[in-house]
Structure 1
Amino acid sequence: MKPRHHLYLDDELTEQLEALAAKPGSSKSAIVADALRAYLARRGARELDDLLKVRLDRIGKQLSRIERDQQIVLESLALFIRYQLTVTAPLPEADQAAARALGQERFQAFIDQVGRRIAGGRTLAADVLARSSTEETTG
């Protein structure tokens, strides 16, 4: 058995409901139940949309920060490569083997340091950004 509800509607809404219920195969209860079901479904969808909007905004901000960090890294790498190629003088032939060995040691030390910083959750980009934002606020 369905529960009974007593509703009060204004005159205009009552006339519209009666006109719809006058059609064969429809009843006031079915019309009101369908309308209420549709209203509640829209309301739930709107709440879900509001929650998703907050998450999407947060994801958008995170992507913006990632893009900014990536631009900083790429620009830093490009400047370093240009500096290295234009400033560093070539070594004499006699020193090539020693230079290669020293280069391998330095490269391994570099890779180890990158691994430690990433594993520790510290990044040079974050350090540079923190330092630059501190300098901007004090400067």
Structure 2
Amino acid sequence: MKVRQNLYIDRELSDALEALAAGTVGNKSRLVNDALADWLSRRGAKEIDDLLKLRLDRITREIEHARRDIEVLLESLSLFVRYQLMVTAPLPDADAAAVAVGRDRFEKFVAQVGRQLAAGKRTIGHDPDTGGAA
């Protein structure tokens, strides 16, 4: 069902519409109808884009904070590893018991990291004695 509308438009727009309708594109009603439908759909898309922009900006900020935290953790880890390698004397080759203890400690460490990650627990920022935030 179509509804009749009486609209006033500028002379320049009217002349351009008349010239466009004279071609093979269609009549003036169809041209105005299609143009208005396109404009309204873009307006709705703009509102959606505006809402998404806010969320994307928030997500971008969160990613930047996570990147900063990762950089701090990596730098801390690298400094710790470098320090440990510089101050810890290597084990003698003949000390198989010490090597076995080291291997066992490493396996327990890796297993604990796996358990922490699987449970979603964090050690950093939590007091190990109370289990709460530091």
User: Is the TM value for this pair above 0.5?
Assistant: yes
Of Structure 1 and Structure 2, the greater helix share is in: 1
Distance 1:112 1:126 in 2: 21
Structure of greater relative contact order (alpha carbons < 8 Å, 6+ residues apart): 1
Gap runs ≥5 in structure 1: 132-139
Normalising by structure 2, report the TM-score. 0.75
Quote the residue 1:99 is aligned against. Answer: 98
Which residues in structure 2 correspond to 1:53-132 (within 5 Å)? 53-92=53-92, 94=94, 96-127=95-126, 131=134
Normalising by structure 1, report the TM-score. 0.72
Gap runs ≥5 in structure 2: 128-132
Count of matched residue pairs: 125
Cα gap change, 1:7 to 1:124, in 2 (>3 Å): farther
Which residues in structure 2 correspond to 1:20-59 (within 5 Å)? 20-23=16-19, 24-25=22-23, 27-59=27-59
Q: Please say if residues 117 and 123 of structure 1, whose CA atoms lie closer than 8 Å, have aligned partners that are also in contact.
A: yes
Percent of paired sites with the same residue: 46
Runs of 4+ in structure 1 displaced over 4 angstroms? none
CA shift, 1:29, in A, is 1.4
Instruction: Say which is worse superposed, 71-80 or 23-32, in terms of deviation.
Output: 23-32
After superposition, the CA RMSD in angstroms is 2.5
Q: Please say if residues 116 and 122 of structure 2, whose CA atoms lie closer than 8 Å, have aligned partners that are also in contact.
A: yes
